[in-house]
């Protein structure tokens, strides 16, 4: 039984992984890049350092990723006038479009889940999901 739960968990993770990869593959963008856009979209505007911490990557990694997204015109990078070592990153219009788009797909998925489980069950499911997340 513990065995079975373990499999369900792993299977869930993989499905979600490929779901995310799938919805992103149609756009001209990778999952890691979409994730970056998501974090920036959720926070409005942030420094490279802050962003690297939220993404869990080094600033060196981030420098390159941001470059690519700036080249694709999904991101804008501006100097911070207060701290001259620092930069701010934010979404461009095109970046926001990508962000909204992805957001909608998540919304649809959530709707499907609610419709399938029912409002009550969905409520407790997400509650438990949140609890479990904190255990990891």
Partner DNA sequence: CGTACTTATCTTGACAGTCAAGCTATTTCT
Partner DNA sequence: AGAAATAGCTTGACTGTCAAGATAAGTACG
Which residues would be at the binding site for DNA (CB under 7 A)? 30-33, 47-50, 52, 55-68, 77, 80, 82-87
- Residue keyed to tokens 């779901």: 19
- Using DSSP's 3-state secondary structure scheme, residue 91 falls into strand
25 forms part of the interface with a second copy (CB under 8 A): no
- Using DSSP's 3-state secondary structure scheme, residue 78 falls into strand
CA distance 76 to 95: 9
Burial of 69 (0-12, 13-18, 19+ CB in 10 A): buried
Give the nearer residue to DNA in terms of CB position, either 67 or 104: 67
Give the nearer residue to a second copy in terms of CB position, either 49 or 127: 127
Give the nearer residue to DNA in terms of CB position, either 11 or 80: 80
- Residues of the shown chain interacting with a second copy in the complex, contacts defined by CB under 8 A: 2, 4-6, 8-13, 15-20, 38, 56, 103, 106-107, 109-114, 116-117, 121-122, 124-126, 128-133, 135-136
């Amino acid at each position: 039984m513990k065995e079975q739960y373990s499999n369900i968990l792993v299977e869930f993770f993989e499905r979600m992984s490929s779901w995310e990869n799938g919805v992103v593959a149609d756009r001209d963008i990778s999952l890691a890049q979409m994730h970056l856009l998501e974090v920036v979209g959720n926070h409005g505007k942030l420094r490279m350092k802050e962003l690297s911490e939220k993404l869990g990557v080094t600033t060196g990694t981030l420098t390159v990723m941001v470059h690519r997204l700036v080249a694709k015109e999904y991101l804008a990078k501006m100097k911070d006038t207060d701290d001259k070592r620092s930069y701010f990153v934010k979404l461009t219009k095109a970046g926001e479009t990508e962000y909204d788009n992805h957001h909608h797909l998540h919304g649809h998925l959530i709707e499907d889940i609610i419709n399938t489980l029912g409002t009550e069950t969905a409520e407790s499911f997400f509650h438990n999901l949140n609890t479990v997340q904190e255990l990891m």
